[in-house]
Amino acid sequence: MKSPFLLEQWFASRGWRAFVFQREAWNKILQGKSGIVNAPTGSGKTYSVLGGVLEVLKSENPKGLVCLWITPIRALAKEIELSVARALEGCGLSWRVGIRTGDTEIAERREQAKQMPEILITTPESLHLLIATRDGERLFEQLRFVIVDEWHELMGNKRGVMMELALAWLRARLPALQTWGISATIDNMYEAMQILLGRTYREGILVRADLRKRIEVIPVLPDTIDLMPWAGHLGIKLLQKVVPVIEQSRSTLIFTNTRSQCEIWYQQLLEAAPSLAGQIAMHHSSISREIRHWVEDALHDGRLKAVVCTSSLDLGVDFRPVETIIQIGSPKGVSRFMQRAGRSGHQPGAVSRIYFVPTHTLELVESAALREAIDRQVIEPREPYVRSFDVLVQWLVTLAVGPGFEAGEILHQVRSTHAFTSISDEEWYWCLSFITTGGRTLEGYDDFHKVVRTDDGRYVVKSKRISLRHRLSIGAIVSDTVMRVKFLNGGFVGTIEEWFISRLKPGDVFWFAGRSLELVRVRGLEVTVRASQQKEGLVPSWMGGRMPLSGQMGAMLREKLQEAFDDKTTDPELKFISPLWKLQLERSAIPGPDQLLIEYLVSREGHHLFVYPFEGRFVHEGMASVLAWRLALFQPITFSIAMNDYGFELLSADPIPIQEALDSDVFSTEHLERDILQSVNATEMARRRFRDIAAIAGLVFQGYPGKPVKEKHLQSSASLIFSTLSEHEPDNLLLRQAYDEILQFQLEHGRMQQAFSRIQGQEILLRYIERPTPFCFPIMVDRLRERLTNESLEQRVEKMLREAGVEVK
DNA sequence: GACCTGCTGCGGAGTG
């Protein structure tokens, strides 16, 4: 029997069958609903939404823009366009589909200005830019659908807030507008829907694709436990075990945690297996786009056997499935690991296999914890941003540059979003005054008088210069200023950070993008290089973000620690680790899920206190500061602090009164927020955070395309404004936002609160140890690294190991 | 605002 659905008829002609969730989505969309389709990549999620859109509009023969398709990544736009175009043709519809991103050519833009395609694929930034035109309102008059692809990727950052605001604005003028999100599984799926739909969420529908895929975690283990380093992060010791995995597979993705690790692995793989030359490449965000595109295409065509990458290949390029995935070092979160694993074994019913290469002993436990987490479907949530006033004031100027706005109407919309439900009248007036006068402190500067209120009460931007500069600054991603690395003949290799290049002088050789490069000269923000034959060279590192261990991973680790002693354990890595665990047990203890281990060591360096909450390094940084601050209340004492993802260390020249402190409840949650802010240098942290806020809010200008403002300059103008506001306008909303953000995202206040209250219910195992344990050793090394060069560190680590009673191989 | 390990993502003028 012929299906009533257009898309299903086309499916049938190709011999495909619709999934149950696709039909469910089509029906709900046909009923006029909004909602979210929860489906993994590669499961036909695009068609699940597209089919509904076609069904609603097929009889209307639309002309002009009826459907906006938002993607967080430009690279995905092309694939969506391809799928949509194919389906439209298959269904015999003559609708047009087009792309509008920063890559869209001028001619194409002009064409679109005359007549928009029926379906437009765009990014949140480009959508804001479209609104920031005089045509801003007219463009969307016929709009019926907004599809937000990969919504889980947007909702955890300020780009999500940009979407919320734009959606509220569109919804206000188009009551019949239907919004659909497409999202991978996250822990707070319903919240994700609520945020996407704003005030209309009550009627929202969640369509779940029940396509659970089996994932097999295969640990890559050394021959004996002695070969596993106690501390380290590169994992290079297991290189010889990784080579055959790559050789035996048709195509492999090797995920690393940092860009420099990616460079090192690429280089070392080539050295260990010269036969891979020409068949292996590398991919990370500092490599030029030209090279990256080449790598993506080559992988797609099967010209490459393996690519070493960072999370730059997490999303985007939904290339032909890869046969094998290798993860080097901890992925830090379950979702990220599962997503990467899902890149292999795309055939229905196929098992995804992922090789996990631990870089030190405790990561062996992470390997087992990951397996368990996948089994139990433990998945991280995405925390939405709220009250991001920098994004709000940017949006208000965007509207004023575009069609202009009327205050009461926009306030109503803004309040309908999840991010700004709680905005008070006072805060709203502050925003209006900020965009018109710069606020109390900055009103003396004309640059901040961006928006004017016309006689009929509309807020608009009149100055061409201000409009221009605003359009240049739309978006919520603030990049660091970087130096461009170029060959003498002009070929662009990629970008590198100033602090790294400043250590080199002309003639020095470094390795970057898989090539040996000799520094010729540095001029302004341009680094000129020539190819070198030299084999040795420094590998650059970049100051990227840090990814702390997720709460879910931490909890799973705490559970798994003791399992190494359980004879019934089936995890190979836990069996493997048990000799080392015996050592830990002899010297100290292994905490169970209801225990907190604290180790006290006296060495020539002084008195060390090690605490192991397994909460990730951000939380540990805050906890360590709070603990140090509270301990100093007992007696004057100073500490140096170190931490990793498993625990932290307080080191002091004097004895640490830990027993007394424990007796008087040093882990109390009482006055926690106050103690956090007292103990960490909140002002400095907020000052740094303020740089991005100032850029997003339009307080500092980041420069013209190709002519970025120097980092130093940007930092100092933001810092100057920060100081001025702190002094004269301490209740400034952007200033307060900087402090809120460090509490929420840098110190992970919520998680820290939970950790403290969990510890209150835990039994404390205080152990006075005589020698470093496998647990504390990596933290000690971490602290040393900050003072020593790499070579001396290596020697020092060997010495430490001997002192710790471990044979050095 | 550095670092010694530390991810990712987007956007963009006027020149008559």
Each residue's pLDDT tens digit, A521-578: 998 888 999 999 988 888 998 888 888 999 999 999 999 998 887 778 888 888 888 8
**Residue type (1 letter), A389:** F
Between CA A95 and CA A117 the distance in angstroms is 7
How many CA atoms lie within 13 Å of A733's alpha carbon, on the beta-carbon side? Answer: 23
Residue A412: per-residue pLDDT: 97
For residues A666-683, average pLDDT: 90
Mean pLDDT, chain A, whole residue set: 90
pLDDT at A224: 85
Q: CA A326 → C1' B7, Å? A: 17
Question: Quick check: A96 CB within 7 A of strand B?
Answer: no
Give A347's pLDDT tier (boundaries 50, 70, 90).
low
Q: Which letter does DSSP use for residue A448 in this model?
A: G
Range with the lowest mean pLDDT among A132-141, A163-172, A226-235, A333-342? A226-235
Reported confidence tier of residue A203, pLDDT bands at 50, 70, 90? confident
> Can you tell me the distance from the alpha carbon of A97 to that of A101, in angstroms, rounded to the nearest whole number?
13
Strands (E), A74-231: 97-100, 119-122, 145-148, 178-183, 205-208, 215-219
User: In the predicted model, is pLDDT for residue A292 greater than 70?
Assistant: yes
Q: How confident is the model at residue A790 (pLDDT cuts 50, 70, 90)?
A: low
Does the structure show a pLDDT above 50 at A303?
yes
DSSP character at residue A399: H
- Strand B close to A558 by CB, under 7 A: no
- Measured CA to CA, the distance from residue A145 to residue A66 in angstroms comes to 6
Q: Is the CB of A544 under 7 A from strand B?
A: yes
Alpha-carbon distance of A305 to A258, in angstroms, equals 21
Domain spans, chain A: 6-208, 215-375, 389-475+682-746, 482-531, 588-680+748-803
For strand B, is any atom closer than 7 Å to the CB of A746?
no
Average of per-residue pLDDT across A748-752 = 91
Model confidence at A316, in pLDDT bands (50, 70, 90)?
low
Q: How many CA atoms lie within 13 A of A583 on its CB side?
A: 17
Say which nucleotide is closest to residue A790, CA to C1' distance: B4
* A587 CA to B9 C1' distance (Å): 46
Cβ of A286 near strand B (distance < 7 A): yes
CA of A488 to C1' of B16 (A): 36
Cβ atoms within 10 Å of A760's Cβ, excluding its own: 12
Q: Which amino acid would we find at residue A748?
A: E
Q: What is the mean pLDDT of residues A664-692?
A: 90
| Cα A139 from Cα A128, distance rounded (Å) | 12
Round to a whole number and report the distance in Å from the CA of A80 to the C1' of B2.
40
8 A C-beta contact, residue A255 and residue A343: no
pLDDT of residue A809: 43
CA A584 to C1' B9, whole Å: 42
Whether the CB of A339 is less than 7 Å away from nucleic strand B comes out as no
Query: Which of the listed ranges A59-63, A67-71, A131-135 does the model predict with the highest average pLDDT?
Result: A67-71
Nearest residue (CA) to C1' of B11: A102
Separation between the CA of A133 and the C1’ of B2 (whole angstroms): 39
**CA-wise closest residue to A448 among A419, A469, A418, A476:** A469
* Angstrom distance (rounded) from CA A722 to CA A739: 12
**Protein residue at shortest CA distance from C1' of B14:** A468
Sorting pLDDT into bands at 50, 70 and 90, what band is A445? confident
Contact call for residues A22 and A38 (beta carbons, < 8 A): no
Nucleic strand B under 7 Å from the C-beta of A791: no
Nearest nt by C1' to A617 Cα: B6
The yes-or-no verdict on residue A799 having pLDDT over 90 is no
- pTM recorded for the entire structure: 0.93
**Helix A617-631 vs helix A749-760: crossing angle, to nearest 10:** 60
- The residue-averaged pLDDT of A429-458 equals 92
| Nucleic strand B contacts from chain A, 391-420, CB < 7 Å | none
Whether residue A137 is predicted with pLDDT greater than 80 in this model: the reply is: yes
> What pLDDT was estimated at residue A99?
97
Provide the positions of strand B that have an atom within 7 A of a protein CB.
1-14
The gap between A63 CA and B16 C1' (Å) is 35
Please tell me the predicted confidence (pLDDT) of residue A159: 97
CATH number of A6-208: 3.40.50.300
- Residues A782-803 as b/e (b if ≥16 CB within 10 A, e otherwise) read bbbeeeeeeeeeeebbeebbee
Nearest nucleotide (CA of A719 to C1'): B1
Nucleotide nearest A312, from its CA to each C1': B8
A716: which nucleotide lies closest, measuring CA to C1'? B1
Residue-wise pLDDT for A515-529, tens only, equals 999 999 998 888 999
Percent of chain A past pLDDT 90, that is, above it, reads: 69
- The third-level CATH classification (topology) of the domain covering A215-375 is Rossmann fold (3.40.50)
| Confidence grade of residue A319 (pLDDT, cut at 50, 70, 90) | low
Beta carbon of A726 within 7 Å of strand B?
no
| Chain A residues 169-198 within 7 Å (CB) of strand B | none
Do A215-375 and A6-208 fall under one CATH topology? yes
Euclidean distance between CA atoms A196 and A190, whole angstroms: 10
Band of residue A12 on the pLDDT scale cut at 50, 70, 90: very high
CA of A313 to C1' of B9 (A): 12
Q: How do residues A149-194 score in pLDDT, each as one tens digit? A: 999 999 999 999 999 999 999 999 999 999 999 999 999 999 999 9
Asked whether strand B has any atom less than 7 Å from the CB of A113, the reply is: no
d(CA A259, CA A695): 26
Which pLDDT band holds residue A380 (cuts at 50, 70, 90)? very high
Residue A766 or A442, more confident: A766
Sign of the CA dihedral A222, A227, A232, A235?
Answer: negative
What span, in angstroms and rounded, lies between the C-alpha atoms of A384 and A35? 18
**Nucleotide at minimal C1' distance from the A465 CA:** B13
CB of A23 lies under 7 Å from some atom of strand B: no
